[in-house]
Amino acid sequence: MNCKDAEKMISPFLEDDLDNRDLAEFLKHMDRCPECKEELTIQFLVLVGMKRLEDGNTFNLKEELDNMLRDARKKLKVRKYLVAVSLLLELLVAAMTVATVILTVALY
Ligand SMILES: [Zn+2]
């Protein structure tokens, strides 16, 4: 499973709408991909948080969030590294875009 597939499954996962095979693949990906895990955390807070506010039951959510944050803290080091790498890639893409524009202008 790649990140694109995993991201598509975040919403079904939170709705408990994945079959066993997809769920296993999804959890496997979440274990080794801090970026998708972070996306899961954000969507968890938005989706589950809204529902809990409607129910007036925010206590459990706070506990769930604490568990998630504890888990996130362990992976913070890896995540920081990934953020640096993705920033570097963004810079590279930006540089390539500029180079393409310069080449296009130079050709005409
Ligand atoms: Zn991923």
Residue 92 maps to a domain: no
Å from CA of 29 to ligand 1 middle: 6
Domain count for the chain: 1
CA of 35 to the centre of ligand 1 (A): 6
> Residue 108 gets which letter from DSSP?
-
What spacing in Å lies between the alpha carbon of 6 and ligand 1's midpoint?
6
What is the pLDDT at residue 72? 47
Residue 6's pLDDT is 95
In a domain, 101, yes or no: no
Beta carbons within 10 angstroms of residue 36's beta carbon: 22
Supply the range of the domain harboring residue 8.
3-76
Question: Is 90 part of a structural domain of the chain?
Answer: no
The mean per-residue pLDDT over the stretch 67-82 comes to: 63
Q: Would residue 36 count as lying in a domain?
A: yes
Instruction: Kindly report the pTM of this predicted structure.
Output: 0.49
User: How far, in Å, from the CA of 7 to the mean position of ligand 1?
Assistant: 7
Residue 48 has pLDDT above 60, yes or no: yes
Say whether pLDDT at 95 is over 90. yes
Residue 87 or 57, more confident: 87
CA 34–ligand 1 middle distance (angstroms): 7
Quick check: is 100 in a domain? no
Q: 13: pLDDT confidence band, cut at 50, 70 and 90?
A: confident
